[in-house]
Chain A
């Protein structure tokens, strides 16, 4: 923060020093407050006019500030809408906040600047009731269309017990079904074209090819997709709302279920963000253990993708082989963490316990075993000519489009844009590891697959380095807020006993402030924005997931292709419904 980034100076030069105020946060990038009137000009300036612009609307969300105590120096606000911009050229982030009052919670839309703003603005409307004037279709996105209220407002109930028992009698079921009935006119789609009627086909939510409960409505001319419309929210479980009633520590298991294939990778983004709020240093051993487990889960997640992608284009066997390999990873995870898919194993300040005896042998076996398997999968999947015919040239987008739509991870690297958060903004000591960032050129389904397959090999390299260079030391920080405190530091005297008791029963009290950490997760950039009001529970948890942004691109990628291609595209994106809907 000390050497203020150029963007702030540029804004000051263009709009004057009075146009905004700077807020101190722990996130490491500037957060500016401006007014509703200034906002459109600000965004336009940053997206189009400034040199090396902020091409990506990385996140757009809101905070219900009405019950927040500690907001020293921040402008008066009931609802704060937050635009998180990212510039790859500068490798810089910038946050712009706009205060709104409860009676007049409305903003002009940003969809004209970033196409990806569409879903984010719908989400803010759905969750907070903030209107976006000029939005093409401002309606609920995550909640059922019949829902009343806006869930992330503080007055909205957070527990089922506050709402009365859920019942679904026939007439209510009919009402809900009717609400989901698709009307092309609502979305500006035509029913007929000269000489032919379009067929509107629901793919999902109950469909074997969609990998979960997502609905994609296709406008078909023959089997050609004229247009399509993804509908999400069937898997929404209110993870962000739950964050507002869990202690800092007890929210960790909820994160596992966001990208449920990523396991501890989710924990990492969350605990890094909490540690940023505290300013906690993590011992080297804990760092390397974290990296090793994360990379194991990256491989596990990519293996699931590999097999199911092959299955989406009709190759039935690979999925069994890759799942068997994933079992081997789970055996290691089980030995280390106790859990398998959702170990919830990282802790604020480190990890839950030290590595078990004999872990080296298990990891070494796996690192030695996997390369041959990958070579075999290359033969049965990647080099298969029918597979190539089905995936090459299908669902391609350019790097510019990817940046515009907020694509991160393998989807971005497949367009030839070499950007890996582990390299560009090393966290958890990734700068100490030797690995390459695989890229591809054309950005089609095949290239996305290529990138992921190569990433498995790079992850194996990283794990191998962890194996050979595991540092000695503690697996958890000495910091008093590390949760739960390390056993050997507790129950020596009354002070440590009290500290342990409070930390376990209430959870740590995290100092007030705001933080943000985004990591290179399995599917793209996963980020946790935390707002602490100086209590034992977060005031606001915002989970920025990669799949949400990726899914929004589906219409762009699938116009003009055929139904089978849509399934190839869906498979190549590698999304997880819980990661979209949270």
Chain B
């Protein structure tokens, strides 16, 4: 009985952490971007402007929650829920330390891939259900983006699976005891990182919402908390991808002196900041360019990575 209660407590803790983190990330992103762009960012509400998180939440919950009469009501409401649910569920398989973590699935990695693929539907559905032309174009771009990077996203991680011999994320971290996979799997890391950027629709791959072209893209018609949920979903997505990078390539909780949870947190923060830095630094490619890059460069590279890794492992064993 106590076991179950403990389990529930961990679930609530781990689950609410990304939600709070998502709220904080909005603050972090705005402040960090401002720093990079020679301006102040939010600095009025509370110390360091942290109160903006609360103010934003109050604002967004009390905005008009408009479902346009021309939209497909059910799908319109479902779409933002999908991105929040799939984002939060991906968190379940991430091993934060040896002991903290919701569950250790023997197919954890596959579960993560499945959830992130599901998440994309949120954007496509939102674009379609809005019955707005900008939104439709945004949704189409999201599906174009999906068919170009999903195919190599999974393959890019197979090198890691080969080396660890398991889909369990905890096993994968444990397998990095001697050397972090970033070293032998550098190519895989680069490919996965690019796929992850595309997965979360972050600049430079924010094509579905490219504000200069499509106003707000797939969420043009969204307002209030439904709009807010796409935001939360995006930041949970960023957190999850950063956590996966840490887990798969940077030894998860492992590190000297400091406790595991601190190491995990520091590494996580580092990659989140990299995500924000990229947003400040890069322009946005056109989506046919993105597709061509995915199919003609990254897909062959990830296949190559797979075969070479397997061959090298067998040779080394022999």
Q: How far is the CA of A562 from the CA of B289 in the complex (A)?
A: 12
Interface residues on B, range: 20 to 34
- A209 to B213, Cβ gap below 8 A? yes
A314 → chain B, closest Cβ, in Å?
A: 3
- A199 to B133, Cβ gap below 8 A? yes
Any A CB within 8 A of the CB of B100:
no
- B282 to A208, Cβ gap below 8 A? no
Within 8 A of A (CB), among B125-165: 133-134, 137, 140-141
- A386 to B38, Cβ gap below 8 A? no
A residues less than 8 Å from B210 (CB atoms): 314, 564
- B288 to A562, Cβ gap below 8 A? yes
A466 → chain B, closest Cβ, in Å?
A: 29
Any B CB within 8 A of the CB of A387:
yes
- B133 to A201, Cβ gap below 8 A? yes
Any B CB within 8 A of the CB of A65:
no
- B286 to A562, Cβ gap below 8 A? yes
Which of B140, B203, B282 has most A Cβ within 10 Å? B282
Contact A317 to B281, CB < 8 A, known contacts A199-B133, A201-B133, A562-B288: yes
Contact of A317 among B36, B204, B206, B213 (CB under 8 A): B36
- A316 to B279, Cβ gap below 8 A? yes
A52 → chain B, closest Cβ, in Å?
A: 42
Any A CB within 8 A of the CB of B211:
yes
- B288 to A567, Cβ gap below 8 A? no
Q: How far is the CA of A199 from the CA of B134 in the complex (A)?
A: 11
Any A CB within 8 A of the CB of B215:
yes
- A314 to B281, Cβ gap below 8 A? no
Q: How far is the CA of A529 from the CA of B133 in the complex (A)?
A: 44
Contact of B212 among A223, A311, A387 (CB under 8 A): A311
Any A CB within 8 A of the CB of B256:
no
- B286 to A564, Cβ gap below 8 A? yes
Q: How far is the CA of A564 from the CA of B204 in the complex (A)?
A: 13
Any B CB within 8 A of the CB of A320:
yes
A residues less than 8 Å from B214 (CB atoms): 563
Within 8 A of A (CB), among B183-217: 203-204, 206-207, 210-215
B210 → chain A, closest Cβ, in Å?
A: 7
Contact A314 to B212, CB < 8 A, known contacts A201-B133, A320-B38: yes
Contact A384 to B213, CB < 8 A, known contacts A223-B137, A320-B37: no
- A390 to B37, Cβ gap below 8 A? no
- B137 to A314, Cβ gap below 8 A? no
Any A CB within 8 A of the CB of B182:
no
- B215 to A313, Cβ gap below 8 A? no
Any B CB within 8 A of the CB of A63:
no
B residues less than 8 Å from A566 (CB atoms): 213
Any B CB within 8 A of the CB of A74:
no
- B281 to A313, Cβ gap below 8 A? no
- B282 to A314, Cβ gap below 8 A? yes
Any B CB within 8 A of the CB of A11:
no
With both beta carbons as reference points, the residue of chain A lying nearest to B207 in the complex is identified as A564
- A314 to B38, Cβ gap below 8 A? no
1/0 per residue A388-399: CB within 8 Å of B?
Answer: 011000000000
Any A CB within 8 A of the CB of B280:
yes
A residues less than 8 Å from B203 (CB atoms): 314, 316
Within 8 A of B (CB), among A181-198: none
Any A CB within 8 A of the CB of B63:
no
Any A CB within 8 A of the CB of B49:
no
Within 8 A of A (CB), among B281-303: 281-289
Q: How far is the CA of A320 from the CA of B38 in the complex (A)?
A: 7
Any A CB within 8 A of the CB of B39:
yes
Q: How far is the CA of A223 from the CA of B36 in the complex (A)?
A: 33
* Cross-chain pairs A/B with CB under 8 angstroms, 20 sampled: A199-B133, A209-B211, A209-B213, A223-B141, A223-B287, A310-B283, A315-B283, A320-B37, A321-B37, A386-B204, A386-B282, A386-B284, A387-B283, A390-B286, A562-B288, A563-B137, A563-B213, A563-B214, A566-B213, A567-B212
Given contacts A316-B37, A316-B279, 12 further A-B contacts (CB under 8 A): A207-B215, A208-B212, A223-B287, A313-B283, A317-B280, A384-B283, A389-B285, A390-B283, A390-B286, A564-B213, A564-B286, A567-B212
Query: Which residues of B are interface residues toward A (Cβ below 8 A)?
Result: 33, 36-39, 133-134, 137, 140-141, 203-204, 206-207, 210-215, 279-289
Query: Which residues of A are interface residues toward B (Cβ below 8 A)?
Result: 199, 201, 207-209, 222-223, 310-317, 320-321, 324, 380, 384, 386-387, 389-390, 562-567
Instruction: Sort A-B residue pairs by CB-CB distance and give the 8 closest, nearest first.
Output: A314-B284, A315-B283, A209-B212, A320-B37, A314-B283, A313-B283, A386-B283, A317-B280
